[in-house]
């Protein structure tokens, strides 16, 4: 990475934003890798299990709007400290009081939503330090906190097997508390932050058709990433009768692919343009998900296609947020909240939908094909709006940035 990038911003803040995002995503995603063990102990149906893992995603989606507003009005650092404190209290309560029913899993999921909302803090905190030509890399590095889902997928099922899944909530408090201390010590708000936005600014942003396009595109890339990440442990367990630990490893491979590609997606978008990068990635993801929908007989074949799909979705996540600051630089806090919210809603629909379809049809096939169709619709939509974007953004964004 070019040396000018490291001189352009504030590296301790970039590192803090990544670490905060990473550990937040780890606990936000915690119910996914534990889903099979929790569902077995609490006797949950496939639909209840799907809604359980989807609840933190939806809560995180809605709370991103709140934390995005707080990041704008107070500061990204202050919003981050508040959100992390709520998550720590939630996990402490779950560990000490116990999660003994389906309803309690949903309440836990609501509290963990604050961890998912960290998106609306980490990205503005990092982005505001960097000029347009480095936005893709800065947003990609901070956004690589998606990799926290890998930590949960790898370690949570094994720790649950050794110590019981209830105690995993207590163990998660250790790295989370350390991260909060590091964040408080190292993170700094950018000296020139955009002026605070009022609630009316959210309504104003929603009147811009480009806002809706970005929300749709991210609901497919990020929604696909986090929705699949939450559903895959159950999928591999149901479809191929893998034990929870093995299913966790399979899922970790998929999630790692998507997480690692996020910063590379931002860098790729800086190089070839965000629109072109996104078109490639939607095509790859849609084809791979459609192939898995044919119920491949081998778990290894399914794993290979899911990994390829997650590579596409992860790259797409980075590409979307390479484009956002170019179009909405002054509204980055508002737009991060809105677009992040849409991504979470997409993830909720996918995770809950897969569980519901499995419950009522006995199979995941229809759910996977519907998601592949959504990826195709995103490709068509982006292809149709790219000409207008390339001819109109020059007047509202810096011409040096590549779209």
If we measure between CA atoms, which residue out of 64, 392, 10 comes closest to residue 193? Answer: 10
Compute the distance between CA of residue 107 and CA of residue 119 in angstroms, rounded to an integer: 21
For residues 94 and 4, which has the higher predicted lDDT (pLDDT)?
94
Task: Judge whether 105 and 52 are in contact, CB under 8 Å.
Answer: yes
Looking up tokens 């860098």, which residue turns up? 267
Asked if residue 3 belongs to a domain, the reply is no
Contact 322, 273 (CB under 8 A): no
Mean pLDDT check: name the lowest of 57-66, 211-220, 307-316, 346-355.
57-66
The pLDDT assigned to 269 comes to 86
Q: Is residue 337 within 8 Å of 68, Cβ to Cβ?
A: yes
Residues 344, 226: Cα–Cα separation, whole Å: 8
Confidence tier at 305 by pLDDT (50, 70, 90): very high
Task: Label residue 360 by pLDDT band (50, 70, 90).
Answer: very high
What count of residues does the chain have?
A: 403
257 is written with which tokens?
């692919």
pLDDT tens sequence across 15-27:
888 899 999 989 9
Q: How far apart are CA 25 and CA 111, in angstroms?
A: 13
Confidence of residue 127 (pLDDT cuts 50, 70, 90): confident
pLDDT at site 398: 39
Domain limits at 89? 11-186+199-392
Q: Which two tokens stand for residue 237?
A: 């367990």
Q: What is the rounded CA–CA span in Å between residue 27 and residue 361?
A: 31
Mean pLDDT, all residues of the chain: 88
More confident: 297 or 402 = 297
Report the number of distinct structural domains present in the chain.
Answer: 1
At residue 55, the pLDDT reads 96
**Per-residue pLDDT tens over the stretch 245-303:** 999 999 999 999 988 887 788 788 888 888 899 999 999 999 999 999 999 999 999 99
Residue 403 located in a structural domain = no
Domain membership flag for residue 398: no
- CA-based nearest residue to 320, from 373, 232, 382: 382
CATH of the domain at 238: 1.20.1250.20
288 near 376, Cβ under 8 Å?
no
Coil/strand/helix, residue 294: coil
**Statement: residue 8 has pLDDT above 70:** no
Q: What is the mean pLDDT of residues 157-168?
A: 94
- Has residue 402 been placed in a domain? no
Give the H or E element holding residue 248: helix 244-272
Domain annotation covers residue 246? yes
396: confidence class by pLDDT, cuts 50, 70, 90:
very low
Contact predicate 187/125, CB 8 Å: yes
Nearest-angstrom CA–CA distance, 61 and 32: 16
**pLDDT recorded at residue 400:** 39
131 φ/ψ sector (left φ>0, alpha ψ -120 to 50, else beta): beta
Tell me the pLDDT band of 43, cut-offs 50, 70 and 90.
very high
Q: Is residue 273 part of a domain?
A: yes
Q: Can you tell me which residue has the tokens 């609630």? A: 199
Q: Which pLDDT score, from 0 to 100, does residue 304 have? A: 97
pLDDT higher than 70, residue 76: yes
- Is 224 inside a domain boundary? yes
What is the signed CA dihedral for 81, 318, 60, 95, rounded to 10 degrees? Answer: -70
**How many Cβ atoms are within 10 Å of 301's Cβ, its own excluded?**
12
Answer whether residue 60 is part of any domain: yes
Q: What pLDDT is recorded for position 201?
A: 77
pLDDT band at 205 (very low <50, low <70, confident <90, very high): confident
Q: In this structure, is the dihedral angle defined by the CA atoms of residues 200, 206, 209 and 210, taken in order, positive or negative?
A: positive
The whole-angstrom separation of Cα 109 and Cα 113 is: 6
Q: Residues of the chain with pLDDT > 70: what percent?
A: 93
Residue 254: what pLDDT? 94
Which of 38-52, 165-179, 184-198 bottoms out in mean pLDDT, i.e. has the lowest? Answer: 184-198
Mean of pLDDT values over 94-115: 94
């Amino acid at each position: 990475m070019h040396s000018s990038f490291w001189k352009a911003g504030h590296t301790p803040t970039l590192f803090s934003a990544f670490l905060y995002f990473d550990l937040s995503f780890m606990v936000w995603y915690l119910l996914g890798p534990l889903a099979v063990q929790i569902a077995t102990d609490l006797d949950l149906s496939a639909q209840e299990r799907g809604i359980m893992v989807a609840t933190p995603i939806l809560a995180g989606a809605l709370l991103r709007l709140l934390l995005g507003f707080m990041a704008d009005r107070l500061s990204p650092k202050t919003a981050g400290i508040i959100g992390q404190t709520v998550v720590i209290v939630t996990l402490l309560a779950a560990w000490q009081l116990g999660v003994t029913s389906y309803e309690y899993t949903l309440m836990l999921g609501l509290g963990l939503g604050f961890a998912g909302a960290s998106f609306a803090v980490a990205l503005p905190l990092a982005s505001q330090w960097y000029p347009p030509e480095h936005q893709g890399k800065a947003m990609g590095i901070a956004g690589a906190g998606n990799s926290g889902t890998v930590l949960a997928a790898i370690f949570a099922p094994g720790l649950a097997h050794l110590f019981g899944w209830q105690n995993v909530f207590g163990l998660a408090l250790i790295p989370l508390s350390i991260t909060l201390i590091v964040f408080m010590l190292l993170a700094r708000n950018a000296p020139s932050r955009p002026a605070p936005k009022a609630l009316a600014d959210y309504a104003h942003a929603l009147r811009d058709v480009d806002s809706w396009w970005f929300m749709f595109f991210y609901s497919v890339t990020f929604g696909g990433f986090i929705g699949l990440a939450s559903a895959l442990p159950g999928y591999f367990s149901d479809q191929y009768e893998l034990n929870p630990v093995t299913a966790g490893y399979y899922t970790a491979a998929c999630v790692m692919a998507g997480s690692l590609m996020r910063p590379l997606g931002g860098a790729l978008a800086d190089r070839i343009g965000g629109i072109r990068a996104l078109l490639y990635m939607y095509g790859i993801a849609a084809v791979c998900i459609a192939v898995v929908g044919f119920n491949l007989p081998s778990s290894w074949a399914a794993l290979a296609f899911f990994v390829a799909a997650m590579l596409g979705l992860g790259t797409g996540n980075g590409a979307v947020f390479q484009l956002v600051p170019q179009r909405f630089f002054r509204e980055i806090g508002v737009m991060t909240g809105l677009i992040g919210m849409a991504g979470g809603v997409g993830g909720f629909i996918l995770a809950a939908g897969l569980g519901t379809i499995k419950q009522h049809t006995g199979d995941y096939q229809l759910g996977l094909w519907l998601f592949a169709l959504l990826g195709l619709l995103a490709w068509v939509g982006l292809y149709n709006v790219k000409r207008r974007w390339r001819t109109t953004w020059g007047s509202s964004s810096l011409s040096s940035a590549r779209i």
